[in-house]
Amino acid sequence: MEFSEEKVFHILLHGGNARSLAMEAIHDAKKRDWQAARRKIRQAEDEIRKAHRIQTAWIQQEAGGERKNVTLLLVHAQDHLMNAITVKDLAVELIDLYKRISTSGGAKA
């Protein structure tokens, strides 16, 4: 895969989409819309996969001896992707907690 600024922006785009979808999933869970929450988590995972494919191709190329120029924009994109993955993982846990609280009659103060 060609190393280009355009592909770096794709990582940013997909990472941002994933993070937004994960946050929307949390809000859906707060409203007890479990189906929408699950759907948005799946969409977030799809966005993460798209970004991860680009990242993985570049890592494999570099491991094969093809050097890449690391720019601040690339570092930012990588950070963006890792944050999206973290937010998605936490969203899954929060959705589970909201569901448990909902089915147990609510939280006790």
79 is in an annotated binding site: yes
- Give tens-digit pLDDT for 45-86: 999 999 999 999 988 988 998 888 889 999 999 999 999 999
The pLDDT of residue 33 is above 80: yes
- What pLDDT shows up at residue 69? 83
85 C-beta neighbours (distance < 10 Å), count: 19
Whether 81 contacts 15, CB under 8 Å:
yes
76 included as an active-site residue: yes
| Centroid of chain to Cα 6 | 19
Q: Given the residues 10, 14, 27, 76, select the one marked as catalytic.
A: 76
Q: Which CATH entry fits the domain spanning 5-103: 3.40.50.720, 1.20.58.80, 1.10.3720.10, 1.20.810.10?
A: 1.20.58.80
